[in-house]
Every structure is written in C-alpha cells, then in structure tokens.
C-alpha cells in the first residue's frame, strides 16, 4: 500500500519536472521561481512579525507605565529557555547567526540549506524576541527566505548557479518583506551576501524584492515602518555636525562589533548549556529591568524618538521620575547604547535565536538622537533636529557594523520615508564605513568565517575555486616506475610515454618520489649506465603532495609556494595521480564562464 503511494508520488513528481523542461524555458522558469520565492518570503516575514507582536502584546500591555515592572526579570529568561530547548531537542541543529550561515552555504555547500530552515528560525526567534530577547528578527527572516529559495530550487532540480541565485532571491524577499524596503533588500544581497549582480541575476532579484514588498504593503498598509513627519529640512550649516556624527558612528560600530565577539568568545568557553542559559538569562533580565527599551527589538523606543515623545522611553523604568532632567535622561540613553551589545550577546549566548540587524538599527537611532539632543541642550550649535539625526545615525551604525554603506543609506530612507535626507545619509554612511574599515576589515557577519579561513564569498577567486573538486582535475595516465628498475628499463618506459614526469611507487603503491625527464636527459643515451644505475639513485622527492579532499584553495597555495606546475596526489601516502596547474586553470575558466554567463 505505502509502496504504491510512494510510486504514485514519484511518478507525479517526475511528470512535473519533465513537463516543465519541455514547456517552459530555463530563464522564464527562473523568473517564475523568483516570484514564488518572493511570495513565500513575504508570507514568512509577515508571519514572524505577527507572532512576535502578538506575544509581546499579551505579555506587556498590562504593565504599569510609571514604575518598574518585575516581570522584566522573568520573561526574557523564559523566552531563551524555550528557544534553547526547541533548538537542542527538536531542531537538533545550530540555527544561530543566520546571515553567516548563508554566506557559508554559498561558499561551501553550494547554496543548499536544510528544509527545516524554512520554519525553525521563525519559531525560535519569535519566542526569543516575543519574550524580550534583545535581538532582531531580520537575520532569522533572511535565513528563512534564503532556505525557501534554496529548497524551491532543489525541488525543481535546478543547477548550482540557479540555487545560488534563488537563495539570494529569498534573502532579498526577507528584507523587502519585513521592512517594506525593496531597494534595501536588493542591496543587502549585493553588499552583504556579495551575490554578483549580472544581467542574469538582476531580474529575478528585482522580482523577488518587488513581490515581497508589495505583499507587505497590501497586508500592513502603505506607510513606512518608522514613518514620521519631517518638519525640519536639511540645511548646509549642519554638514560639519553630520561629519562628526559619521565618525562617531564608525567608532560606535567598532565598539559594537568588538564587544559582540568578545562576549561570544567568553560564553563559548562555558561548556554546559544550562550554565550558559543561567548567565545569559541573568544578564539579560537585569539589563532589561533597568533599561526597558532593551526589551525585544526596541522599535517602540525608536517610534518614540520619531514622534517627539522622547520621555516615553523611560516608561516602565526606574528612570521615569527623572525623565525631564537632562543629565538623568542623557545617562539613560548612553547606558542603552553601551549595554545593548551585551543584552544581544546574552540573548544569543544563553540559547536564544536572533540577529544583530535590529540592534544595529536601534543603537544607530540612539546615537544620532543623543548626539543632537546633547548639542541642542548646550546651545553651541545651530539647532539639530533630533529625529532627523536619529535617522542619520541609524544609517551610520548600520553601514559600519555590516560594512554595507549603500544598504545603510537606502534602508534608512525606506524605513522612515526620509528621502529628503539623502545627502546627510550618504555623508554619515561613507564616513562611518571608512572609519571602521581602518580598524576592522570584516563585517559582523563575515568576521566569524574569516577567523576560520572560510570566507570566500567576498573573494571571487576563492569562490570559483571552491566549486572545483580535486577529483575532477586528477590525471592518472602517467607511467608508474619502480625504485629497483634500471636506467635501461626506465628509457623503455620513457619511449612509450607522452609525459615528462614519472611517479615512483613501491609494491604497496606508496609514493616514494618522482623522476623528471629533464633531470636524466644527460644520462639517457649513455648505454654503459643502463644496467649500473637504478631509479632509486636518480629519483627526487616531489616539491609537495596534494592530499585527497584538500580544498582547491590550499591546492593553489601549495602550487604557489612550491613554484611547481605538476604535483602528485596521494591518499594516506598511496599514489593516486597528478594534478597540473594548467588543468586547474582550464577548469577554473570553464566554471567562471558558466557562473557569469547571462
């Protein structure tokens, strides 16, 4: 019975694949799949936002607005506990650091993400953030969208190049859907994921971005997520202060990045997941109790800034009574900026699932707001509109943390509708990115892979080399000789060979050395030596050996360090064949042509 059902299912599946191949061209079908990916990515984004806001509403709507709420000490711990148990005992796979895992999938796994990634990040991150985890939903939705694109492509048996493109379409749809920001979604894929923008890829990416953003507009309205009324247009006299803010954002981005990795490294040294949970939950609970804007994504605090109700950020906190005092309120904002990174690290380190995308938006807004708020208080500058500078600061910190200035510019404009601020957004993003690059060459997403030597998406030569396999370039047609063969026997072998290199092996096929034709050319024709010399006397050691399974990047590094054009391949010491640099170059060109043709 079950076997018959499986056969029917298999026949149905094969018929769909064959029908598609006969009736829809490859390029048109990719456009259809990018549209489907955009739809599903937008649906996933809307679902994630709905669940998060639903949980937060149920838990916090009844809170006292004029004082501390002790449930802040309990909720975050419950969230990261539930998420941690779900990941360890149900998912049984690491789903944290979603963007980093996408980069790794593009470079090492040929853009194949597991099917469970289409929903597990949504479930884990919604519980984490809904209960107050101080992380963002954007990295999980990017991971989810990328998994949707990858698995849609795999279902229809698409090739590796198309899988990579659909993965990018899914990531684009995730950003466009959750932020209603199609341009930022496209730029995220180009700047952060480093997916090449070619005539082949531009249309699918645009279709996914526009589809996802349109769905988001239909279901959540036409207003930008942080829409506000811009009452003060930008004036040229404020440019010097925008420049100062840009440099400041660069250093804040550096602080955020370095502290994030230091905190993560410390928590990684703790082996017990329960101790990690206890440490993370305690730190997170205390920080949120003292500074409630650290609860969840913190978007309500951002809206308070844009609406001009700055003091509302102190609601539910110990700072509420001093909200009208400049020094108390400024200290409150400064503490939020300094501690957000630790709240985020404690959330992820304690077992929660979330990203650093929203924390960088949050900190950027606070930095820009505090910068203008403090200078306006002392009155030594022309008036600096706090909400405008909050938008500008958001672009600056995002550009620095993610090393993505174009995305920082457009996402800030699309999130707020602040397109009139394009010049200051460009200034601050450029300066912030330039400042952090002096001290930190990698973004918060790429640094983890760079430390392991696995960052190849930002290095096109490495990316193409990774797609090559050592098995495909091994040559096995070389004449093998034995160490006890005489020179006369060696000459007979040479006469039958078209190659000028000869591996020397023992009876167990272990590689002992090599004989180069050029090295014995001067004795080849001296017949008096034919019976006197043996191979073991004139063979030499190879300049290097390639092990089966060695990454192609290391193979090329070995060729460069030895200056060799041919190297032997061995497996546990046994001779397998030879690899030539020329053959690798030929294979490289073929792969490069395949992945860059339009």
The DSSP code sequence of 535-556 is HHHH-B--S--EETT--HHHHH
Among residues 209, 205, 129, the alpha carbon closest in space to that of 174 is found at 209
For CATH 1.10.3080.10, list the domain ranges present in the chain: 2-220, 236-456
Count the Cβ atoms, other than its own, within 10 Å of residue 120: 22
Among residues 126, 133, 127, 365, the alpha carbon closest in space to that of 252 is found at 365
Give residue for tokens 């959540």.
Answer: 220
- Cα–Cα distances in Å, from 419 out to 364, 414, 496? 18, 7, 74
Diameter over CA atoms, the chain:
106
Q: Which residues contact residue 267 at a Cβ distance below 8 angstroms, ignoring those fewer than 6 apart? A: 276, 279, 280, 345, 349, 350
- Which segments of 109-159 does DSSP mark as H helices, in order? 120-130, 138-155
| Band of pLDDT at residue 5, cut at 50, 70 and 90 | very low
Q: What's the Rg (C-alpha) of the chain?
A: 30
Query: Averaged over 388-393, what is the pLDDT?
Result: 93
pLDDT at 229: 73
Q: Where are the beta strands (DSSP E) in 353-489?
A: 474-475
Among residues 52, 51, 71, 55, the alpha carbon closest in space to that of 63 is found at 71
Give residue for tokens 């994030």.
Answer: 260
pLDDT at 455: 55
Give pTM, 2 decimals: 0.77
Architecture of domain 236-456: Orthogonal Bundle (1.10)
Q: Given CATH 3.10.580.10, say whether it is the number of domain 463-596.
A: yes
Q: Are 342 and 133 in contact (CB under 8 A)?
A: no
Q: Which of 103-112, 217-226, 390-399 has the highest mean pLDDT?
A: 390-399
What is the C-alpha to C-alpha distance for residues 182 and 195, in angstroms, rounded to an integer?
Answer: 16
pLDDT at 583: 75
Query: Averaged over 508-518, what is the pLDDT?
Result: 89
Q: Which residues contact residue 361 at a Cβ distance below 8 angstroms, ignoring those fewer than 6 apart? A: 136, 302, 394, 397, 398, 415
pLDDT at 8: 45
CATH no. of 2-220: 1.10.3080.10
pLDDT at 97: 72
Confidence check: pLDDT of 17 > 50: yes
pLDDT at 117: 87
Residue 506's φ and ψ, nearest 5 degrees, are: -95, -170
| Band of pLDDT at residue 446, cut at 50, 70 and 90 | confident
């Amino acid at each position: 019975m079950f076997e018959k059902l499986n056969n029917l299912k298999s026949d149905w599946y094969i018929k769909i694949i064959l029908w598609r191949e006969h009736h829809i061209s490859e390029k048109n079908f990719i456009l259809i799949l990018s549209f489907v990916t955009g739809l599903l990515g937008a649906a996933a984004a809307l679902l994630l936002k709905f669940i998060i806001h639903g949980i937060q509403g149920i838990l916090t709507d009844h809170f006292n607005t004029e004082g501390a709420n002790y449930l802040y000490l309990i909720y975050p711990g419950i969230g990261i506990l539930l998420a941690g148990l779900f990941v360890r005992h149900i998912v049984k796979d690491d789903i944290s650091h979603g963007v980093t895992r996408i980069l790794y999938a593009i470079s090492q796994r040929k853009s194949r993400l597991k099917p469970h990634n289409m929903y597990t990040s949504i479930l884990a991150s919604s519980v984490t953030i809904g209960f107050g985890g101080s992380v963002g939903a954007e990295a999980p939705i990017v991971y989810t969208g990328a998994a949707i694109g990858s698995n849609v492509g795999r279902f229809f048996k698409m090739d590796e190049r198309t899988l990579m493109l659909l993965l990018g379409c899914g990531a684009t749809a995730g950003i466009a859907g959750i932020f209603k920001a199609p341009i930022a979604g496209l730029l995220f894929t180009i700047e952060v994921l480093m997916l090449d923008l070619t005539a082949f890829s531009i249309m699918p990416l645009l279709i996914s971005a526009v589809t996802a953003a349109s769905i988001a507009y239909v279901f959540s309205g036409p207003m930008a997520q942080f829409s506000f009324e811009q009452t003060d247009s930008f004036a040229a006299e404020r440019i010097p202060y925008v420049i100062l803010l840009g440099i400041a954002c660069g250093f804040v981005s550096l602080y955020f990045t370095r502290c994030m990795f230091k905190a993560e490294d410390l928590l990684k040294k703790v082996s017990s997941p329960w101790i990690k949970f206890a440490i993370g939950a305690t730190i997170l609970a205390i920080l949120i109790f003292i500074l409630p804007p650290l609860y969840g994504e913190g978007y309500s605090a951002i809206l308070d800034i844009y609406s001009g109700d700055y003091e509302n950020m102190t609601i539910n906190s110990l700072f509420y009574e001093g909200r009208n005092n400049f020094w108390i309120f400024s200290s409150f904002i400064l503490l939020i900026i300094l501690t957000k990174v630790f709240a985020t690290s404690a959330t992820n380190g304690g077992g929660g699932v979330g990203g650093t995308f929203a924390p960088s938006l949050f900190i950027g807004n606070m930095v820009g707001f505090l910068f203008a708020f403090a200078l306006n208080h002392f009155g030594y500058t022309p008036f600096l509109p706090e909400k405008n500078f909050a938008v500008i600061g958001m672009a600056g910190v995002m550009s620095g943390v993610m090393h993505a200035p174009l995305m920082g510019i457009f996402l800030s404009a699309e999130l707020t509708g602040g397109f009139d601020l394009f010049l200051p957004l460009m200034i601050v993003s450029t300066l912030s990115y330039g400042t952090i690059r002096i001290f930190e060459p990698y973004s918060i997403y790429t640094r983890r892979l760079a430390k392991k030597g696995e960052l190849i998406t930002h290095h096109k030569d490495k990316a193409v080399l990774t797609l090559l396999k050592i098995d495909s370039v091994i040559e096995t047609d070389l004449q093998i000789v034995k160490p006890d063969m005489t020179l006369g026997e060696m000459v007979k072998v040479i006469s039958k060979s078209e190659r000028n290199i000869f591996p020397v092996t023992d009876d167990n096929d272990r590689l002992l050395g090599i004989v180069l034709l050029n090295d014995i050319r001067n004795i080849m024709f001296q017949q008096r030596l034919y019976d006197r010399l043996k191979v073991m006397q004139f063979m030499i050691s190879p300049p290097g050996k390639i092990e089966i399974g060695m990454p192609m990047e290391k193979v090329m590094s070995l060729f460069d360090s030895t200056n060799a054009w041919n190297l032997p391949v061995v497996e546990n010491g046994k001779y397998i064949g030879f690899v030539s640099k020329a053959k690798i170059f030929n294979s490289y060109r073929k792969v490069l042509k395949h992945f860059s043709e339009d």
